[in-house]
Chain A
Amino acid sequence: MKPTDLTDALNGVDPAFIKESEPEAASGTQGRYKPWARIAALAAALAVLISAGTVAAWHGFRKPTAQDETGLQALLRPLTACAAEYPAQTPYPAEGELAPQSELEAWTKADLERRQKYYGAGKSLAAYFARSLPAFLEGSAGQNSVCSPLNIYFALAMLAEISGGETRAQVLSLLGAPDLKTMRTQANRVFNANYRNDGSAACILADSLWLNENVTFNRNTLKTLAEQYYASTYRGKPGTEDFDKAIRAWVNSQTGDLLQDVVSGIATDELTSLALYTTAYFGDKWQAEFSADETKQDVFHGPDGDAEAAFMHATDLWGEYYWGQHFGAVKKDLQQHGAVWFVLPDEGTSPEDLLRDEEALRFLFTGNKYSDWQNKKSLRVNLSLPKFDVSSQLSLREGLQKLGVTDCFNEKADFSPLTGDKPVAVSEINHGARVIADEKGVTAAAYTEMLLAGAAMPPEDEMDFTLDRPFLFAVMSDDYMPLFVGVVNQP
């Protein structure tokens, strides 16, 4: 036996002995460590419109606030038929201030309770997301495209709530819900799992229904919309400036004025019987910042040729590298609300190909990828990501029809739970979204050649992941809900 045997064996002694003998930490050993708390921003917003109108666009990262709250209320008050109350949330102590410990503790406790209460709320929706996403994003080959699967889900859930008969059955079938009651409960849980407007980050979901004042309506249905979907209903004269102005003000207030350009084009006409708007605003900081000083111009190999792009660079990203037959993927954590996943197709494969690839879709909507996805390796990743600002306006009508939701668009439409009046049909479903990923810091993309070959395992404990050609991204909540999914062909 050697003394080193004893030294080694001591490593396995009871942790309680280690704990009780723990020396006071040397205070002089701190210093020279890479800071972890960095900044960057990612924000998104969108609006969905049924029956009339257009949607979304935007700029920058801001927490949405109504610029003129008094003016907004003055516009909405006379039109309000049924107002929803949003869930109360414990406020997050303001950054930059020395908040009492009790405030932070109260927020932490409330946040934990909320997570626990609604954990797994959207688990059964994975199949719906995987099925519907390709239908919504297809047809934009070579272009950027983005949508919010979660937002579309709420629009469809409300559509099911206000429709009846086969019209409702088609929507429920698409959503994978056995009946309305199940879907209602699920939608409410999904809303609460994701809604966040407490000052720590923003994931603000908002729904509203706009009715022609000539249409009679079932107050119980409006009450259900308010209680289960937090949707307010407004009633007025479509085609008038006051009505359109109120809609625009409402959408702008819910999206922090980020969609102003497109929202300014919203206009109903006197034939509009109902319009449904759902919005989602999302903003959070990166868990670990990019350093702005190291952002460098480099080449992005787009479908229409090479172009310069500003690449952000983050070294020592802790995590896993995942791979499939035709892609490699990593995630970058957000501070409060999940993470952004970056999925890079192999050379010769496009993001659009991945949206048709069963394995890639399964990967995207696998909840806990760490426990459930076999092809992974823990390592440190050096991420090079082009700053991007992608937006698109999509008509969901064709996609929904392909997915079997047809009756709501034609004379078979049944909206009897909402109104017994003349036939009402959905004329259009538009969806607009924009996602901006930027930094207030970054790193030069000392990028290496892509090494994301199909099923090959990365050999080292550290790798470069350089998104210098078209890629997919997905903003996923902690609960694995796809808040936004998009294709970046041109950053």
Chain B
Amino acid sequence: MEDQEILRLFNARKEAAIRESRRKFGPLIRSLALRLLGSREDAEETENDTYMKVWTAVPPAQPLPLAPYFSAVCRRTALDRLRARTREKRGAGAYEESLSELAESIPGKDDGRAFADSIALQNALNDFLSALTPEARLIFLRRYWWFCSVAEIARSRGTTEGAVKMSLSRTRAKLKAFLKEEQLYETD
């Protein structure tokens, strides 16, 4: 079913909106949640929570295309669930790995404080991603947005794990320089 038609079902408050969303986006967001959470049960619950959040948000929200929207809601929901779980000392591999790698991109000392202006950071990241080559951007987002493993990325791109690691390393270095130039970090 086309996104427009699914959106119409949400606007008309038809349960079929959930059925069609599950059919069209279920595999995508389930696999995202599963990569992050590592638990099929948690992934299922995250998927259901995602539908509920979208149901509540649309309308008034009218997101098109729908796949990125569902994915973003799912990612946020899964991260929240993961962090709640991490507080209970049950960390997940893919997420911890990605955090550890991303730490390399942060200019200056990690002072443990939350960054204050998330909107500015989001805008800067969009600028940064726009300037990357399509392939570097895809690899970067597969790793840090979709939480795919290096091996998965290499397999899907028809390249080696070493090449993927190299690409990620270069992009993280560029990101660090970019954030420093934009002064998007706290300097004590």
Contacts and interface: CB of A to CB of B under 8 A. Distances in A.
Interface string A1-23: 11111111111111111111111
A461 B27 contact: no
Interface string B105-118: 11010111111001
B72 A11 contact: yes
A92 interface: no
A32 B63 CA distance: 28
Interface in B2-46: 12-19, 22, 26-28, 30-31, 34, 40, 43-44
Contacts of B17: 318
A3 B40 CA distance: 26
Interface in B130-158: 130, 134, 137-138, 141-142, 144-146, 148, 152, 156
Nearest to A31: B40
Contacts of A207: none
Contacts of A25: 27-28, 30-31
Interface string B57-76: 00100010101110110011
A7 B79 contact: yes
A70 interface: no
B142 A13 contact: no
Interface string A310-325: 0000000111100000
A13 B152 contact: no
B55 A378 contact: yes
A13 B28 contact: no
A1 B106 contact: yes
Given A17-B129, A287-B15, A318 B105 contact: no
B30 A26 contact: yes
A5 B99 CA distance: 10
B15 A318 contact: yes
Q: Chain A, interface size: which category?
A: 35 or more
Contacts of B142: 21, 23
Nearest to B96: A3
Contacts of B34: 26, 29
Given A19-B68, A22-B71, A371-B59, A2 B79 contact: no
Contacts of A10: 125, 141, 144-145
A235 B141 CA distance: 76
Contact of A1 (B68, B115, B141): B115
B4 to A, nearest CB: 10
A36 B19 contact: yes
A22 B28 contact: yes
B7 to A, nearest CB: 14
A482 B32 CA distance: 43
A15 B69 contact: yes
B160 interface: no
A37 interface: yes
B22 A23 contact: no
Contacts of B121: 5-6, 9
Contact of B30 (A8, A30, A37): A30
Contacts of B112: 2
A370 B14 CA distance: 11
Nearest to A24: B156
Nearest to A16: B68
A370 B13 contact: yes
Nearest to A12: B122
A1 to B, nearest CB: 4
B177 interface: no
Nearest to A339: B14
Contacts of A317: 15
B98 interface: yes
A21 B143 CA distance: 10
A27 interface: yes
A7 B15 contact: no
A9 B144 contact: no
Contacts of A223: none
B15 A15 contact: no
Contacts of B71: 18, 22
B31 A29 contact: yes
A9 B125 contact: yes
Given A2-B112, A19-B67, A22-B28, A13 B19 contact: no
B52 A461 contact: yes
4 closest residue pairs by CB, A with B? A25-B27, A15-B68, A26-B31, A21-B141
6 contacts: A1-B185, A15-B68, A18-B72, A21-B137, A25-B30, A287-B15
